[in-house]
Amino acid sequence: MSTNKCCYDAIVVGAGHAGVEAGLALARLGHETLVLSITLDNVAYLACNPSIGGTAKGHLVREVDALGGEMGIAADKTLTQLRMLNRSKGAAVHSLRAQVDKYKYHEYMKSVLEKHPKIHLRQGEVSDLIVENDTVKGVRTVYKMEYYAPVVVLACGVYLKSTIIVGDVIEPKGPVCFNRANHLSDSLKALGIEVRRFKTGTPARVKRSSVDFSALEVQEGEEDIYSFSALSKKVNAKKRCCYLGYTNEKTHEIIRENLSLAPKYSGLIHGTGARYCPSIEDKIVRFADKSRHQFFLEPEGEGTEEMYVQGLSTSLPVFVQLDMYRSIKGFEHLEIMRDAYAIEYDCINPLELFPTLMHKKIKGLFFAGQINGTSGYEEAAAQGIVAGINAAMFLSGKNPVVLTRDNSYIGVLIDDLVTVGTDEPYRMMTSRAEFRLSLRQDNADLRLTPIGRQAGLVTDRRWKAYLKKVKSLDKAREKLNTVMPPKALTEMFAAAGEQPPVTGYTVESVIKRPLITPGVFAKYSDIFDGTDKSALQQLFVEVKYSGYLGRAEKTRAEQKRLENASLPDDVDYRTIKGLRLEAAEKLNKIKPLSIGQAARISGVTPADVNVLIVNLKK
């Protein structure tokens, strides 16, 4: 007898960057997982820029990899260029950024899902959540199929009632004109979940052969850097070039003359956009004193003529877009292959979630990615792997995995969302992490791989690589007190441009010299021969920043003490004497898991925190 009902251990709705990581985490932890996507053509699709990483985002990718995720591996396998951003600054803000072949990236991720024996990848639009007694039971599709599971992860990206806007034209479509999800927003509202409207945008895709590259600056990849994944071997970081260019006064004049036709200024756009990723028309208005704005021209992939104009997103009418782009040097004969557009979509208020990313009022229902109000592939993947791990822990009856502000950028990201909330698309930045000096890319594996291993997601191969690095680093640290005679240092210091030593120096004191790099040291000394390259790079950072790291560690220890002071999730804060009414209301709404989280809630004062500490002791 045929039936419209099927059962699984877990259901993931959406197969973008959050859905992929959530689905893989659940399946790799042993659970039969249904991954539903509105179309299988958008699995891990790079709908916006064809790149992975960037400032702070590179940190997230390395952390996802350290936990046992797939994004870093996929980026390394499909990249066409790799660079390290912020080289001129301190190690804390060094960030990997890769150009990837967007079509190969999609094909690779789709293949990984298809080949996993516990993942059931299926096309279908979810119309309703099935919830009974404040517990999720499954989902229903527009074709009236019902899928049941004790946990559901919603990773819907920007597809919920999304509309594409170009000039005065509004179309009910998702990114890249994929179908949108028409019904799930209404189901969320019916369950009492707050739904909001956000906006983002993307630039035009242009034809490579129509560009005069001689008018642009070449941006090549870099070979002497590590890759995203600890499991990747040497990657080809210089396959393709990117290019740097600038707008000019003529460009700005065209935009100003047509500003009334821009949807944001004509009143057609109502969603909140990201301050840190403005359209070119927003840049012209907000930075009226600037005579030019830079952009990057990036290849979309190996087998296509399409190129992405990073930094020139717009929703101006198509005929204005062409004039605007062609006013730029090198673009005089430009052919646009895909027009730029803005997109509005529904998302939820992340204050309704626990740090595990489970909804506070509906058991078993998790949220991850842009549906939580974030922007970016990397932010989505980071939430996806956390939601997947915690959904698996929920199924197994094990303690959840809660990453913290002092151990990861992912912890900062999630804590910001569930404690402070966001009124615009949230983007990860290094300035958001108060412990960024210790939360570097180079030590992501040391910080998080043990956590991933304990959760069961880190494979033996990854764990072996971790142990090898730890052993190599420990051996290297033992050599820091070795005294190096002045004669052996003369050539090294001269090559680096440092003042020559007067007496013997220890290895540690030599490394502390600003201009002594691992490369320079290795050229004139064999002390670290055989040391793992990534371990050696990390040792140099540790030594050079030891004073700052020591001071940061004291602050970190105090915060850890507050984070370890747990608060019950069923307390009514209105019953606690001494708490101000505003604080009690905020605490009841967010239900913090610790004193530390409570202290970060807007409207909760230090005096309120002291009241909580006193009551906790009682």
Which pLDDT value is given to residue 181?
A: 96
b (16+ CB within 10 A) / e for 562-574: bbebebeeeeebe
Q: Which residue has the tokens 């045929």?
A: 2
Residues 52/30, Cβ–Cβ less than 8 Å: no
Dist. CA 35–CA 120, nearest whole Å:
6
Tokens of 333: 């004969």
The string of pLDDT tens digits covering residues 143-181 is 999 999 999 999 999 999 999 999 999 999 999 889 999
Class of domain 460-550: mainly alpha
Q: Which residues contact 24 (CB under 8 A, 6 or more apart)?
A: 69, 70, 112, 113, 116, 119, 388
The string of pLDDT tens digits covering residues 289-331 is 999 999 999 999 998 999 999 999 999 999 999 999 999 999 9
Residues of CATH 3.50.50.60 domain(s) within the chain? 5-160+177-196+348-455
Q: HSE (CB half, 13 Å, CA atoms) of 293? A: 24
Dist. CA 114–CA 108, nearest whole Å:
10
Dist. CA 23–CA 381, nearest whole Å:
11
Angle, helices 17-28 vs 102-115, to 10°: value is 30
3-state secondary structure 493-517: HHHHCCCCCCCCEEHHHHHHCCCCC
Q: pLDDT: is 500 or 174 the higher one?
A: 174
Dist. CA 466–CA 464, nearest whole Å:
5
Of 200-214, 311-325, 437-451, 590-604, give the lowest mean pLDDT range.
590-604
The string of pLDDT tens digits covering residues 511-542 is 999 899 888 888 888 899 989 888 998 999 99
Residues of CATH 1.10.10.1800 domain(s) within the chain? 460-550
Dist. CA 188–CA 347, nearest whole Å:
10
Q: Which residues contact 575 (CB under 8 A, 6 or more apart)?
A: none
Helix (H) or strand (E) holding 245: strand 242-246
Q: pLDDT: is 275 or 347 the higher one?
A: 347
Q: For residue 206, give the nearest of 294, 277, 291, 295 by alpha carbon.
A: 295
- Alpha-helical (H) ranges within 218-297 are 249-257, 263-266, 280-286
Mean pLDDT for the stretch of residues 489-505? 84
Of 115-124, 220-229, 389-398, give the lowest mean pLDDT range.
220-229
Q: How far is CA 424 from CA 272, 273, 507, in A?
A: 6, 6, 48
DSSP string, 26-70: HHHTT--EEEEES-GGGTT---S-SEEE-TTHHHHHHHHHHHT-S
Helix (H) or strand (E) holding 201: strand 195-202
Q: Is residue 618 pLDDT above 70, yes or no?
A: no
Q: What is the mean pLDDT of the chain?
A: 92
Q: Is residue 383 pLDDT above 70, yes or no?
A: yes
Mean pLDDT for the stretch of residues 559-569? 78
Which pLDDT value is given to residue 501?
A: 76
Q: Which residues contact 150 (CB under 8 A, 6 or more apart)?
A: 9, 10, 136, 137, 364, 394, 395
Which pLDDT value is given to residue 275?
A: 73
Fold designation for 565-617:
DNA polymerase; domain 1 (1.10.150)
The residue type at 185: S
Mean pLDDT for the stretch of residues 198-213? 96
Q: Is residue 466 pLDDT above 50, yes or no?
A: yes
Dist. CA 554–CA 566, nearest whole Å:
21
pLDDT band at 1 (very low <50, low <70, confident <90, very high): very low
Q: pLDDT: is 324 or 557 the higher one?
A: 324
Dist. CA 23–CA 15, nearest whole Å:
8
Residues 34/10, Cβ–Cβ less than 8 Å: yes
Mean pLDDT for the stretch of residues 235-248? 90
Residues of CATH 2.40.30.260 domain(s) within the chain? 205-224+239-344
**CATH of range 5-160+177-196+348-455; options 3.50.50.60, 2.120.10.70, 3.40.50.920, 3.40.50.300:** 3.50.50.60
Which pLDDT value is given to residue 2?
A: 57
Residues 344/198, Cβ–Cβ less than 8 Å: yes
Q: pLDDT: is 583 or 453 the higher one?
A: 453
pTM here is: 0.92
Tokens of 451: 């956590």
For residue 519, report the phi and psi dihedrals to the nearest 5 degrees: -65, -45
Angle, helices 533-544 vs 460-477, to 10°: value is 50
Domain 205-224+239-344 coded CATH 3.60.20.10: no
Residues 609/598, Cβ–Cβ less than 8 Å: yes
Residues of CATH 1.10.150.570 domain(s) within the chain? 565-617
Residues 511/540, Cβ–Cβ less than 8 Å: yes
DSSP string, 126-147: EEEEEEETTEEEEEEETT--EE
Which pLDDT value is given to residue 136?
A: 98
Q: How far is CA 1 from CA 4, 5, 46, in A?
A: 10, 12, 41
Which pLDDT value is given to residue 452?
A: 98
Dist. CA 448–CA 551, nearest whole Å:
22
Of 2-11, 113-122, 445-454, give the lowest mean pLDDT range.
2-11
> How many CB atoms are located within 10 Å of the residue 302 CB?
12
Burial group, residue 96, by CB count within 10 angstroms (0-12, 13-18, 19+): buried
Q: For residue 213, give the nearest of 312, 329, 100 by alpha carbon.
A: 329
The residue type at 519: G
